[in-house]
């Protein structure tokens, strides 16, 4: 493979994974500062709507569940590719794309619902920090969806085998990371608000 | 390499997924059905999300079977993120404490009290907090206030305060708003900007406009600050339809000071006619009107 033919890449197939993990570590800091900013400004909005006026926990729980299950399908897709079950791999990947899109749909619904209630990016500190944080996360999900769509299409153009595992593995790492960021956001931003 | 570790089957993934689903349901129930309350609920939620976090990382992202270098990189990133978070929240907490403490009632009744107050402000501004020394306290008790000679020789009062004292004694009505006004304006500048020009279309300018309003109605500016203002207004040909929050929770001193500050900043002084600085008493008078932000709009000159 071309990836391994360069001297500086050595012959280690896991190098793309190392790159991905380093990227994820940096993304941790990115989300860490966004979540930190949200928490620092929490409860400092001078006017409503406030988080408790707009959050819908049942709805967000469903979208959280959808994202978690997309992670499960992702790991299954990787498993099927490893075991050379290409049809199952395609189906599972399609499932991840579908679930990711459903999550994004929930987010679009949530954002437009919030906007109807008067919460805009400029409205108050809550609006600014909330939209920047969850919007950045949503963009990550959207990038993941596009990435997986491209892999799914690629699997039809040039049949994938277990040798191509690393391509999917890297995308899967990214996808799971986006999932764990949401795990934190769901607890820290949504749930703790109601205690 | 790591392939072999996963050949075992997909069972562990299914179990993990079910566990994640159950945990999410428990989190939901905690909130929706109030299974727990207070700090124990927070701790449980944090613990559950940590469990989910670790499950996804170690099993779905197969860190537990993978090269330890990868775990190392990611842990380092997490630690950096956490450190950043701690640093930022510490910074902001320190700041907010400072603001809260730097908003004292300014007393002009007793010259000595006023000077103590000033030195506290000074100390806060530097960001240093000396314990209120017993020397200082006993000094107040032991020495009469008018004993100014001893006062200036006292070591722990070797701050150029006596000068200020005399100014305060000279005009008991004077209200020292300059510094306080500038400090309080930090609350305003995020919308109205440091240059008072606001943001066209979103936040109206205070520059010029405020002076015009002052000339038209002496109480209006205080009403707008104390009770807020909602509804469509027009300033200098542009329409604004935002909401000015009610700042009534600020002290009378802070409100008087910040309005004085804005009226004597930018181009306002050149427009203002016979400016007479607001005093905390003026604010208290307006406060007793108990208007709503919509009333402020009605009474806008």
B9-37, pLDDT tens digit by residue? 788 999 999 999 999 999 999 988 888 88
Backbone phi and psi for residue B230, each to the nearest 5 degrees, phi listed first: -125, 150
β-strands B229-230, B243-244: how paired? antiparallel
Confidence of residue B248 (pLDDT cuts 50, 70, 90): confident
User: Is B41 an interface residue toward A (CB < 8 Å)?
Assistant: yes
State mean pLDDT over A168-195: 93
User: Measured between alpha carbons, how far is residue A92 from residues A75, A78, A96, A100, B13 in Å?
Assistant: 9, 9, 6, 12, 13
Q: Is A36 helix (H, G, I), strand (E, B) or coil?
A: helix
**Percent of chain A's residues with pLDDT above 70:** 93
Give the Cα separation of A105 and A116 in Å (integer): 17
In a domain, residue A37? The reply is yes
Chain A residues whose beta carbon lies within 8 Å of the beta carbon of residue B61: 172-173, 176-177
Confidence of residue B63 (pLDDT cuts 50, 70, 90): confident
What is the count of structural domains for chain A? 1
**Percent of chain B's residues with pLDDT above 90:** 32
DSSP alpha helix (H) spans, chain A: 2-5, 15-40, 51-54, 57-82, 86-116, 125-157, 165-185
Give the Cα separation of B84 and B246 in Å (integer): 33
Is the pLDDT at B162 greater than 90, yes or no? no
Confidence of residue B157 (pLDDT cuts 50, 70, 90): very low
Q: Which residues of chain B form CATH 1.10.760.10?
A: 178-298
Give the Cα separation of A46 and B118 in Å (integer): 29
Confidence of residue B8 (pLDDT cuts 50, 70, 90): low
Q: Around A53, how many Cα atoms within 13 Å sit in the side-chain half-sphere?
A: 14
Is the pLDDT at B100 greater than 50, yes or no? no
In a domain, residue A65? The reply is yes
* pLDDT of B255: 93
Of A65-79, B184-198, B235-249, highest mean pLDDT: A65-79
* B81/A29 touch (CB, cutoff 8 Å), yes or no: yes
Give the closest of B28, B67, B70 to A57, CB-based. Answer: B28
State mean pLDDT over A50-60: 91
Q: Which of the pair, B249 or B131, is modelled with greater confidence?
A: B249
Give the closest of A65, A75, A191 to B60, CB-based. Answer: A75
Confidence of residue B93 (pLDDT cuts 50, 70, 90): low
In a domain, residue A4? The reply is no
Backbone torsion region of residue A90, taken as left when φ is above 0, otherwise alpha when ψ lies between -120 and 50, otherwise beta: alpha
**Percent of chain B's residues with pLDDT above 70:** 70
In a domain, residue A10? The reply is no
In a domain, residue A146? The reply is yes
Q: Cα(first)–Cα(last) distance of chain A, in Å? A: 54
User: Is B29 an interface residue toward A (CB < 8 Å)?
Assistant: no
Q: Cα(first)–Cα(last) distance of chain B, in Å? A: 78
ipTM of the complex: 0.87
Nearest-CA distance B92 → chain A (Å): 7
Confidence of residue A12 (pLDDT cuts 50, 70, 90): low
Is the pLDDT at B161 greater than 50, yes or no? no
Which B residues, 183 through 222, put their C-beta within 8 Å of a C-beta on chain A? 202
Is the pLDDT at B170 greater than 50, yes or no? no
From B281, B99, B269, select the one nearest B184 (Cα to Cα): B99
* pLDDT of A14: 54
In a domain, residue A88? The reply is yes
Give a three-class secondary structure readout of B106-170. CCCCCHHHHHHHHHHHHHHHHCCCCCCCHHHHHHHHHCCCCCHHHHHHCHHHCCCCHHHHHHHHH
User: Measured between alpha carbons, how far is residue A16 from residues A20, A22, A167, B59, B71 in Å?
Assistant: 6, 10, 8, 19, 15
DSSP alpha helix (H) spans, B247-279: 252-263, 268-271
* pLDDT of A42: 85
* B89/A40 touch (CB, cutoff 8 Å), yes or no: yes
Give the Cα separation of B65 and A139 in Å (integer): 30
From B4, B52, B63, select the one nearest B24 (Cα to Cα): B52
Chain B residues whose beta carbon lies within 8 Å of the beta carbon of residue A39: 85, 89
List Cβ neighbours of B224 (8 Å cut-off, separation of 6 or more).
B244, B296, B300
pTM: 0.61
* pLDDT of A145: 97
Is the pLDDT at B215 greater than 50, yes or no? yes
For residue B107, the tally of other CB atoms under 10 A from its CB is 14
Determine contact, residues A165/A124, Cβ cutoff 8 Å.
Answer: no
State mean pLDDT over B192-204: 88
State mean pLDDT over A40-46: 80
Give the Cα separation of B265 and B253 in Å (integer): 18
Is the pLDDT at A7 greater than 90, yes or no? no
* pLDDT of A194: 87
State mean pLDDT over B214-236: 90
CATH number for the B178-298 domain, one of 3.90.650.10, 1.10.150.120, 1.20.58.390, 1.10.760.10? Answer: 1.10.760.10
CATH number at residue A53: 1.20.120.80
In terms of residue numbers, what domain contains A46? 27-194
In a domain, residue A169? The reply is yes
């Amino acid at each position: 493979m071309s990836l391994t033919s360069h001297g500086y890449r050595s012959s280690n197939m896991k190098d793309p994974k190392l790159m991905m993990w380093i990227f994820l570590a940096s993304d941790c800091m990115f989300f860490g500062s966004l979540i930190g900013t949200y928490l620092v400004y929490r409860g400092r909005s001078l006017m409503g709507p406030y988080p408790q006026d707009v959050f819908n926990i049942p709805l967000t729980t469903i979208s959280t569940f959808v994202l978690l299950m997309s992670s499960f399908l992702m790991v299954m897709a990787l498993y099927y590719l490893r075991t050379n079950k290409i049809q199952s791999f395609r189906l599972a990947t399609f499932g991840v794309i579908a679930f990711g899109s459903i999550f994004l749909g929930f987010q679009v619904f949530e954002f437009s619902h919030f906007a109807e209630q008067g919460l805009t990016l400029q409205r108050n500190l809550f609006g600014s920090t909330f939209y920047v944080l969850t919007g950045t996360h949503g963009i990550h999900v959207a990038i993941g969806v596009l990435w997986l769509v491209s892999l799914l299409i690629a699997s039809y153009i040039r049949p994938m085998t277990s040798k191509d595992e690393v391509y999917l593995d890297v995308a899967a790492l990214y996808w799971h990371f986006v999932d764990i960021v949401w795990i934190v956001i769901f607890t820290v931003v949504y749930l703790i608000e109601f205690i | 390499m790591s392939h072999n570790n996963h050949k075992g089957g997909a069972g562990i993934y299914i179990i993990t997924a079910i566990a994640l689903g159950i945990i999410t349901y428990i989190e939901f129930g905690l909130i929706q059905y109030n299974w727990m309350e207070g700090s124990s609920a927070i701790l449980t939620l944090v613990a559950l999300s940590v469990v989910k976090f670790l499950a996804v990382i170690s099993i779905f992202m197969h860190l537990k079977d993978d090269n330890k270098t990868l775990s190392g990189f990611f842990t380092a990133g997490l630690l950096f993120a956490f450190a950043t978070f701690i640093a930022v929240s510490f910074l902001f907490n320190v700041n907010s404490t400072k603001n809260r403490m730097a908003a004292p009632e300014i007393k002009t009744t007793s010259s000595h009290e006023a000077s103590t107050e000033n030195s506290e402000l000074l100390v806060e501004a530097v960001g240093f907090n000396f314990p209120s020394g017993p020397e200082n306290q006993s000094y107040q008790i032991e020495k009469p206030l008018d004993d100014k000679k001893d006062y200036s020789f006292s070591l722990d009062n070797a701050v150029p305060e006596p000068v200020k004292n005399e100014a305060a004694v000279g005009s008991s009505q004077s209200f020292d708003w300059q510094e306080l006004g500038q400090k309080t304006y930090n609350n305003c500048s995020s919308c109205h900007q440091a240059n008072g020009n606001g943001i066209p279309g979103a936040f109206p300018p205070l520059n010029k406009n405020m002076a015009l309003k002052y000339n038209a109605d002496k109480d209006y500016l205080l009403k707008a600050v104390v009770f807020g203002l909602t509804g469509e207004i027009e300033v200098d040909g542009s329409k604004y339809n935002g909401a000015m929050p009610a700042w009534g929770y600020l002290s009378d001193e802070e409100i008087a000071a910040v309005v004085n500050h804005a009226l004597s900043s930018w181009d306002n002084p050149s427009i203002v006619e016979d400016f007479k600085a607001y005093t905390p008493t003026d604010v208290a008078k307006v406060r007793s009107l108990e208007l709503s932000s919509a009333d402020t709009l009605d009474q806008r000159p």
